[in-house]
Structure 1
């Protein structure tokens, strides 16, 4: 990757600040889609995202494991939603 210009770096830092502050409140993914290029992962990603019980990451490919692992787990978490999941069950009481 080419280095970022100072303006692009500033823009990235400003827009990612809220995500980084709330990183610890974000859950790690329950599913990671793996696939070769041109293997249909984009279509699969789109179809899975249509389900009302699924929250997708901000970006489709975070590249944590191959490019950004040195940024730490909070950086990885910052790419996922803060939505809290609540399940109500009366049958098991």
Structure 2
């Protein structure tokens, strides 16, 4: 295990926003799977905020920059990420 770098980089809300975003746009796009991910994401966000100093508002503020960064990485969820970014930009 490497000890020359931290396990977490960035703001704590940024780190969670990435996880939240991947739960939102990643994985099986079927209705049932999406509903399960959505329910888990809501619970996870609630618990994360309860156990840390992060607020839901802070996480939401990080979602758009994290989505844009994730788009530069490429990946199978790129189309859904583009749709998310377009929706957030209005």
* TM-score in terms of structure 2 length: 0.32
Higher share in helix: 2
Higher relative contact order (CA 8 A, sep 6+): 1
* TM-score in terms of structure 1 length: 0.31
